[in-house]
Structure formats: structure tokens, C-alpha cells
Amino acid sequence: MTFEELKPKIIDITSNNSFTRDERLLKVCELLEENIEYYTWVGFYFANHENRTLHLGPYVGAPTDHTVIPFGKGICGQVALSDKNFVVPDVAAQDNYIACSFTVKSEIVVPLFVNGENIGQIDIDSNVLDPFTEEDERFLEFVNQEVAKLY
């Protein structure tokens, strides 16, 4: 399924008030993981600005020990500080990378903004080297714009 075909499905999920916010977030993760072949782990992290930590929210994929990540640590922690998308074509070449699984080859993290504040991010791992394009970035920005409406 193309990104354009997925967009109305994202809107359907995020606007469905019969589910809780976390249920909708999980459904978004499931939709992406099931329909984009190189997305092997899809999840959300949410910021605690007082403690300067990210906390794992709904996700699909292999279980992770990284349920709390300090700002600045790993790709997710760097995005919490930079407020910018971070695409890692090859995690083995990244100094400040937190390994979740030996099968992960690449990662993309896109910040989630609500009223101009970075409240978290969508994090996607892939078992393929360098699969993420600018189209992925624009699509995930769209996903986060829809998710932001839940806050």
C-alpha cells in the first residue's frame, strides 16, 4: 500500500472516538508495520520534560528494554533535543545508537509536535539497510500531524 493510500486510513484511526488514545496509537503502529514492508518496529515515545526522559508508548514489533531513554541518548534522545527528523541509513555507522536488536539495520525518528512543543516522536526500525526516503519523512510528518490532534 502506498503512503497516499495509507493517509485516509490514518485519519480514520485517529478520528475514531470509540477507541482510547493509546488504542488509536497502537492501531496506527499496526497499520504502518503491516503495510510498509521495511517497517519492522513502529512505536511512539513521549517526553517527560521535567525528567528529560522519553517513555515508550504503544508500539508493535519485538519487545524492547528501552522503555525510558534520557534526552540526548540514542537516536530518539537526540531528536528530543534537536526537534528535527533523524534518518539513520546504517545504524552500525552511528556512534550514539542504542541497539534494540541485532537485526535492526536502519532507523527513522520524526518528532511529534503539539502547539509547537516536541511532546514525543514516532520511531521506526528496519531490518533493511537504507530504506528510508524523503517520502517516508513527509508521510511520517503527516502521521504525527494527525496524532497531534489527539492531544
60: alpha, beta or left? (left if phi > 0; alpha if psi -120 to 50): beta
**pLDDT band, very low/low/confident/very high, at 21 (cuts 50, 70, 90):** very high
Cβ atoms within 10 Å of 44's Cβ, excluding its own: 23
> What does pLDDT average to over the chain?
95
Q: What are the extents of the domains in the chain?
A: 3-148
pLDDT digits (tens, 9 = 90+) for 24-37: 999 999 999 999 99
Q: In the prediction, which pLDDT does 51 show?
A: 97
* Residue 36 near residue 65 (C-beta atoms within 8 A): no
Cβ atoms within 10 Å of 112's Cβ, excluding its own: 24
**Whole-angstrom Cα distance, residue 68 to residue 45?**
9
Q: Which three cell numbers, joined as nine digits, stand for 41?
A: 518496529
Task: Kindly report the CATH class assigned to 3-148.
Answer: alpha beta
pLDDT exceeds cutoff 70 at 83: yes
Share of the chain above pLDDT 70, in %: 96
pLDDT exceeds cutoff 80 at 40: yes
- Pairing mode, if any, of strands 117-126 and 86-88? unpaired
Q: In the prediction, which pLDDT does 106 show?
A: 95
Q: In the prediction, which pLDDT does 93 show?
A: 86
Give me the mean pLDDT over the 135-140 stretch.
Answer: 98
pLDDT digits (tens, 9 = 90+) for 54-80: 999 999 999 998 999 999 999 999 999
Q: In the prediction, which pLDDT does 100 show?
A: 66
